[in-house]
């Protein structure tokens, strides 16, 4: 056993796939940041709101007013440096830190694919992605023709985890036997040409998409790993992600996944891609001939290996933390995030807050739009941790205004996957008195239904 691991760790491979991956990832990240900036989202999502929803334990991560732009600039520049492979190690660490900081500023904008980018950029800190076809090679006048095989495999493993966990999450009764939430989403795409008014309206199509989505997620890593099916799998990847891009507002994520899937190909495919870049760079007469050619060796393998191992153990285990919580996961969302549960729910809520003087019993309702952006209000309305954090914010706000004996009560109605709305939180519980923790929130009312499966 141990010997086979040792042999595996000693296996070497050509670094071209990792180089192409680095370039693709860097470019996609740069485009993401520029796109985010051009949409004005830095302003509307991070600067305008006067209150931000924080992750538990990360309350200190806040937008920095107009300096928030600098964080995005740093993130964009580091993405560019990653792409060209200049000062790679510093660049990828900066990219990881700045991007993760951005994501931690407000959980209103939580998306699984942002989490994926954070996790992936963390992993890439430990990979020799600048060992080939990078500016660093030119500067140091050395390039590598072999790197440890596990470095490329680790990205494949991470991508496989994402797909397989996303597939497992779809193995539930709502998704498979009610075609929910696709039965709600797809008919609303009636304005698509050809498909919109035909198949999008058909129930069989909703089921077909649900089941094939589940099967796709569970199978695609294996189809990509197996050489004979690889091109077919890649075509599926392109088809699937473009299809979701057409249907849903998921920004740049599909393209990132398409680029990521290239990692599964052998080095000769990547050499051909790199030849394309070499052709484009020809006019600049970059001389890389003098580089000394070496085999890459980790200087601190003893530190890196435990980190990578621990990283994957966490990746495998963390999505199952929901098992520690009672009640329906989709309803309470305790342990829902960071688990590759993508597009599983159509959930909407309506939550109002009452500030009450505990002594006199008198109180008043809060106009949420006074404190929250509409996006924040939408997200807050059906997620318990948001409701609690906002209740505390309101309590503190009115306390500072001189109100006494403050109690904060929420009345909330939530609808999940086509079920009609029902009361969501216990309206008699003073939320100002409840503390955030990893414990189960017992003021969430029961779901009164069951969704079987993962």
Partner 1 sequence: MLKKTALFLGLVFIMGCSSSDESKGGSTDDFDRSALLINLADNIIIPAYKDFGPKLVTLKSAVDEFVATPNQSNLDAARNKWLTAYKAWQHVEMFNIGKAEDLNEYYYFMNIYPVTVSDIENGVSTGAYDLNKPNYHDAQGFPALDYLLNGLAADDAGIVAKFSTDANAQGYKTYLTNVINQMDNLTQQVITDWTSSYRDKFVSSTQNTATSSLNKFVNDYIFYYEKGLRANKFGIPSGVFSTTPLPEKVEAYYNQEVSKALSLEALNAVQDVFNGKAFNGSATGASFKTYLEYLKVDRDGKNLSTIINTQYDLARSKINALDTNFSKQVKTDNSKMTIAYDALQMAVVYLKVDMVQAFNISVDYVDADGD
Please report, as ranges, the residues that interact with partner 1 according to CB under 8 A: 39, 41, 44-45, 109, 111-113, 184-185, 187-194, 196-198, 201, 231-232, 234-235, 238-239, 242-243, 245-246, 248-253, 342-343, 346, 348-350, 362-367, 374-375, 378, 413-415, 418, 420-421
Positive or negative torsion for Cα 89, 92, 95, 96: negative
> Looking at beta carbons only, is 123 or 200 nearer to partner 1?
200
Angle at 301 between CA 114 and CA 17, to 5 degrees: 50
> Looking at beta carbons only, is 138 or 358 nearer to partner 1?
358
Q: 366: left (phi > 0), else alpha (psi -120 to 50), else beta?
A: beta
> Looking at beta carbons only, is 152 or 166 nearer to partner 1?
166
Positive or negative torsion for Cα 275, 277, 281, 286: negative
Angle at 204 between CA 203 and CA 205, to 5 degrees: 90
Who's near 244: CB < 8 A, 6+ residues apart?
Answer: 250, 254, 343
Place of tokens 């740069």: 30
Min separation Cβ 116 and partner 1, Å? 11
Encoded tokens for 63: 């937008």
Min separation Cβ 142 and partner 1, Å? 35
Write 67-70 long-range contacts (CB < 8 A, 24+).
68/42, 68/105, 69/37, 69/42
Min separation Cβ 347 and partner 1, Å? 8
Question: What is the number of other CB atoms lying within 10 angstroms of the CB of residue 190?
Answer: 12
> Looking at beta carbons only, is 56 or 232 nearer to partner 1?
232
Min separation Cβ 58 and partner 1, Å? 20
> Looking at beta carbons only, is 251 or 358 nearer to partner 1?
251
Min separation Cβ 18 and partner 1, Å? 23
Question: What is the number of other CB atoms lying within 10 angstroms of the CB of residue 289?
Answer: 5
Min separation Cβ 349 and partner 1, Å? 6
Min separation Cβ 140 and partner 1, Å? 37
Angle at 165 between CA 159 and CA 167, to 5 degrees: 105
> Looking at beta carbons only, is 146 or 269 nearer to partner 1?
269
> Looking at beta carbons only, is 275 or 369 nearer to partner 1?
369
């Amino acid at each position: 056993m141990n010997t086979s691991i040792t042999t595996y760790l000693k296996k070497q491979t050509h670094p071209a796939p990792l180089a192409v991956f680095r370039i693709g990832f860097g470019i996609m990240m740069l485009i993401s940041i520029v796109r985010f900036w051009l949409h004005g989202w830095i302003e509307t999502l991070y600067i305008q709101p006067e209150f931000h929803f924080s992750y538990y334990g990360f309350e200190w991560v806040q937008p920095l007013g107009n300096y928030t732009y600098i964080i995005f600039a740093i993130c964009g520049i580091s993405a560019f440096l990653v792409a060209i492979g200049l000062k790679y190690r510093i660049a990828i660490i900066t990219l990881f830190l700045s991007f993760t900081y951005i994501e931690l500023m407000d959980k209103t904008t939580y998306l699984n694919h942002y989490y994926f980018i954070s996790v992936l950029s963390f992993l890439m800190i430990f990979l020799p992605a600048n060992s080939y076809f990078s500016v660093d090679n030119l500067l140091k006048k050395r390039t590598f023709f072999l790197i440890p095989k596990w470095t490329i495999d680790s990205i494949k493993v991470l991508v496989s985890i994402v797909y397989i966990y996303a597939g497992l999450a779809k193995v539930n009764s709502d998704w498979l036997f009610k075609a929910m939430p696709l039965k709600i989403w797809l008919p609303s795409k009636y304005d698509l040409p050809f498909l919109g008014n035909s198949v999008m309206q058909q129930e069989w199509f909703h089921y077909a998409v649900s089941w094939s989505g589940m099967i796709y997620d569970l199978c695609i890593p294996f189809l990509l790993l197996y050489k004979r099916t690889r091109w077919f799998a890649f075509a599926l990847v392109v088809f699937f992600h473009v299809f979701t891009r057409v249907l849903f507002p998921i920004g740049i994520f599909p393209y990132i996944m398409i680029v990521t899937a290239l990692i599964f190909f052998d080095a000769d495919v990547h050499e051909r891609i790199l030849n394309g870049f070499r052709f484009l760079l020809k006019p600049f007469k970059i001389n890389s001939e003098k580089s000394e050619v070496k085999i890459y060796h980790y200087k601190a393998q003893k530190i890196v290996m435990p980190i990578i191992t621990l990283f994957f153990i966490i990746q495998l285990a963390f999505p199952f933390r929901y098992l520690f919580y009672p009640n329906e996961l989709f309803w309470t969302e305790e342990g829902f995030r960071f688990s590759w549960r993508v597009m599983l729910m159509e959930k909407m809520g309506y939550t109002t807050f009452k500030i009450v003087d505990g002594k006199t019993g008198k109180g008043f309702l809060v106009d949420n739009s006074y404190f929250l952006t509409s996006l924040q209000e939408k997200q807050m309305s059906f997620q318990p941790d948001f409701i609690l954090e906002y209740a505390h914010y309101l309590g503190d706000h009115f306390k500072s205004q001189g109100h006494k004996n403050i109690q904060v009560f929420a009345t909330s109605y939530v609808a999940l996957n086509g079920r009609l709305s029902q009361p969501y939180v216990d309206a008699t519980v003073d939320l100002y008195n409840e503390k955030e923790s990893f414990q189960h929130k017992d003021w969430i009312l029961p779901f009164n239904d069951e969704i079987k499966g993962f």
